[in-house]
Amino acid sequence: MPASRPLAFVGARLVDPASGHDGPGAVIVADGVIADIARSGGFESLSADIEVVDCAGALLTPGLVDIRVKTGEPGSEPKETLKSAARAAAAGGVTSIVLQPDTDPVVDEPSVVDFILRRARDIGLVHVYPAGAATKGLLGKGMAEIGLMREAGAVYITDADHMIVDSLVLRRVLTYAAGFGALVAHRPADPYLSAGAAATEGEFASRLGLPGVSVMAERIMLERDLALAELTGARLLVDQISCAEALESLKRAKDRGVKVWASASINHLTFNELDIGDYRTFYKLTPPLRGEDDRQALIEAVANGLIDVVVSAHAPAPAEDKRLPFEEAAPGAVGLQTLLPALLALYHEDRAPLIDLIAAVTCKPADLLGLDAGRIAVGAPADLVLCDIGAPIRIVADELLSKSKNSPFDGRRLQGKVLRTLVAGREVFRAD
Amino acid sequence: MNTPAPGLDDVRSRTFPFPRRHFISAMDLARLEIGDLLDLADSFVALNRQKAKKLDLLKGRTLMNLFFENSTRTQSSFELAGKRLGADVVNMSPRSSSMSKGETLIDTAVTLNAMRPDLLVVRHASSGAAGLLAQKVGCSVVNAGDGRHEHPTQALLDALSMRRAFGQVDGLTVAICGDVLHSRVARSNVILLQTLGAHVRLVGPPTLIPGSAQRWGVQVFHDMREGIAGADVVMMLRLQLERMTGALVPSTREYFRFYGLDREKLALAAPGVKVMHPGPMNRGVEIDSDIADDLAISLIQDQVEMGVAVRMAVLASLAARLDNE
């Protein structure tokens, strides 16, 4: 492949949380990496063979790192393929995605990790990293081949939406994974308390007549998980924390020095239980949407760093799984393409500094998983997104690139248009 | 080492009365006593290699092998040791499954005690069982393995194998690798080797090393390459295959990849490294056949031979005390 021309982005608002910079900036991309950075509008002199892109004040940040993405590949390709997910990611400014292991077959042994990495290489759009299962078949009993999957390229260990109920099993998974330095993610939800629930227990769910689950189901499981993390000294990622009660537990554990990190989904930062409204199944999620107080507490926690990572929790579900009565509908929402504008809404509403919001989707998740991504530094891979943060956009679900169109943002007006996305210096998306 | 085979008087002069009635734990052994036992065992090695292997040191004594857990090698080793010293040997294998622990064990002990054995060799699946029996009988009790607690004669035979291979145990770096959590062999070896001045390392996945092992005065490694780097002795432990189901390790292939002993990992050990295994081996799980069968580095066959000699030394010393009573 002939080397493409070096590219200079000038006149940008450069936001690089890793170096703490939010201000005028310019970047030169050559040979797939960041070749030079200026903390000003441009470079004093540029050689003639460099193609110059005038950003006109648009936001230039590291490409987003989304560590909780589901596709349907392998096993449920009609929902979403790696290719359709990668295209949606690129259009959303997401340059690295971490796939959940609950596919068919389950990613619980190294050959499936290999398969996914090979498919992703063939597609070649964005960086794809698989997460490996914690237990065989996600059954919560026997341990999966954590060490071999790590060697094959799995970046963290999780049973995705399956809870590991047996505390001894989770203890051993944490202990064993720690021996390899692997991060274990677990979603805190007591499966007995949440059985059959379609919404958060409370006045609203009871008026709608929907079976509800108390937020305490999250706190109970989280307290156990935190105690096991403290016991084993292992690194734990709390997957999609969603309520104020659980944030208290998280804070206490962090203050005690437990090695714990937490993610929140963009959906729980954007919507609350009232959005379910007239039984709209695109708002059926796991964990279910919470009350407004919880949403406010989550935003606060992202702003003050208690929550480390924001994820899209991209979970494609085709129409046949969503066009059902609320209780019977599949949970989950696609989100790769809406993650960035939805996150920018918190900035436009003046809820958090832009640099802190960007950190939660770039350097923080990258550092947590040890990925060479999420920062704009000389020599780093040129994974970049250029975004006009003021531009109004209207989300139309049918126009999203995911094969499944289950977006709760359908019809929403947001601000923030992705103009270009670069992965390793190569343009993988450009707005019309 | 080719010590000439000793005569009866020679052995008598070397045999010292053991300071305790029972042989339960490596913890009870002082460094000097271990040295004496190993010297005596050395002379029995020579005896065992000649045609006439029999002495009448234990003539008239009754040795009872009481094995609640199945064991071919340890039981026959004790049986041979007793017979070569002239004792009458009885093997008892009560079905451990039909016996509930505690009271029934004591009932059995009281019954057997009434038959007036002199030496009772016990193996039991529960930690502390040998010690419990010792409180209830009038004879000498030898612990042939109690649960996850101890297997002191195994540690002695390992020490003898090492001493014969290296000249001394003091200063050796010994890496004990594998399922330390469930291993009585590991616990006895840690104690005995440290008493003798060896540097002990424990190597294995964190699920198979007790969390508090750091406080045993050993170095703990979860990366086998680091753990056996520069080691003089690599002692592999048996991985019980039922550990796969308990979420302790994922699979035999992953275990072998990270904690199995192969040539590549062994190349990191000290030149002249010796490999040991208490048996029975899972070839291809914790140890490559290629290494187990290489007589230049494997002491595994020596360990079995030393087992008989060491047990003769223990029985002889205990009997010498009985003679004095």
Q: Where are the domains of chain A?
A: 7-60+381-430, 63-369
- Which chain A residues touch B250 with a CB distance below 8 Å? 136, 142-148, 176
Question: Residues B95-116: pLDDT tens digits?
Answer: 654 455 555 788 888 888 899 9
Report whether pLDDT(A3) > 60.
no
A145, B205: Cβ pair inside 8 Å? Answer: no
Q: Which residues of B197-236 are buried (b: 16+ CB within 10 A; e: fewer)?
A: ebbbbbbbbbbbbbeebeebebbbbbebeebbbebbbbbb
User: Touching check for B54 and chain A: CB below 8 Å?
Assistant: no
Candidates B251, B255, B258, B259: best to mutate against A (most CBs of A within 10 A) is B251
Other beta carbons within 10 angstroms of residue A202's beta carbon come to 14
Question: Residues A88-102: pLDDT tens digits?
Answer: 999 999 999 999 999
Q: What local confidence, expressed as pLDDT, does residue A327 receive?
A: 94
Of A259, A258, A255, A225, nearest to A240 by C-alpha is A225
**β-strands A21-30, A59-62: how paired?**
unpaired
Q: What local confidence, expressed as pLDDT, does residue B99 receive?
A: 53
Q: What confidence tier does A356 reach under pLDDT thresholds 50, 70, 90?
A: very high
Closest residue on chain B to A234 (Cα): B206
Question: Residues B36-61: pLDDT tens digits?
Answer: 999 999 999 999 998 888 888 999 99
B250, A175: Cβ pair inside 8 Å? Answer: no
Is the pLDDT higher at B240 or at A127? A127
Residue range A153-169: average pLDDT? 97
In angstroms, the separation between the Cα of residue B255 and the nearest Cα of chain A is 9
Q: What local confidence, expressed as pLDDT, does residue B321 receive?
A: 87
Grouped pLDDT means (10 residues each) for chain B, 325 residues: 66 82 95 94 92 89 92 93 96 64 74 91 93 92 95 98 97 97 96 97 96 93 97 94 78 94 96 94 92 94 96 94 78
Report whether pLDDT(A112) > 70.
yes
Q: What local confidence, expressed as pLDDT, does residue B15 receive?
A: 81
- Which chain A residues touch B221 with a CB distance below 8 Å? none
Instruction: Determine the CATH number of domain A7-60+381-430.
Output: 2.30.40.10
In angstroms, the separation between the Cα of residue A238 and the nearest Cα of chain B is 21
Instruction: Determine the CATH number of domain A63-369.
Output: 3.20.20.140
User: Rounded to whole angstroms, how far apart are CA atoms B186 and B32?
Assistant: 22
Report whether pLDDT(A174) > 50.
yes
Q: What local confidence, expressed as pLDDT, does residue B103 receive?
A: 58
Contact of B92 with B67, CB cutoff 8 Å: yes
High-pLDDT (> 70) share of chain A, %:
99
Q: What local confidence, expressed as pLDDT, does residue A405 receive?
A: 96
- Whole-number mean pLDDT of chain A? 96
A175, B222: Cβ pair inside 8 Å? Answer: no
- Which chain B residues touch A228 with a CB distance below 8 Å? none
Q: What confidence tier does A43 reach under pLDDT thresholds 50, 70, 90?
A: confident
Question: Residues A283-309: pLDDT tens digits?
Answer: 999 999 999 999 999 999 999 999 999
Q: What local confidence, expressed as pLDDT, does residue A2 receive?
A: 46
Q: What local confidence, expressed as pLDDT, does residue A54 receive?
A: 94
Residue in B222, B247, B257 closest to A142 by CB? B247
- Which chain B residues touch A230 with a CB distance below 8 Å? none
B250, A147: Cβ pair inside 8 Å? Answer: yes
Grouping H, G, I as helix, E, B as strand and the rest as coil, residue B221 is: strand
Six-digit token pair at A82? 């790696």
- A&B contacts, CB < 8 Å: 48
User: Touching check for B244 and chain A: CB below 8 Å?
Assistant: yes
A142, B258: Cβ pair inside 8 Å? Answer: no
How far CA A48 is from CA of A5, A12, A239, B268, B291, in Å, comes to: 10, 20, 48, 55, 64
Is the pLDDT higher at B33 or at A43? B33
B247, A143: Cβ pair inside 8 Å? Answer: yes
Residue in A145, A147, A172 closest to B247 by CB? A172
Closest residue on chain A to B210 (Cα): A175
Residue range A212-217: average pLDDT? 96
Q: What local confidence, expressed as pLDDT, does residue B102 receive?
A: 55
- Which chain A residues touch B205 with a CB distance below 8 Å? 176, 179
Contact of A382 with A8, CB cutoff 8 Å: no
B249, A168: Cβ pair inside 8 Å? Answer: no
Q: What local confidence, expressed as pLDDT, does residue A106 receive?
A: 97
Grouping H, G, I as helix, E, B as strand and the rest as coil, residue B123 is: strand
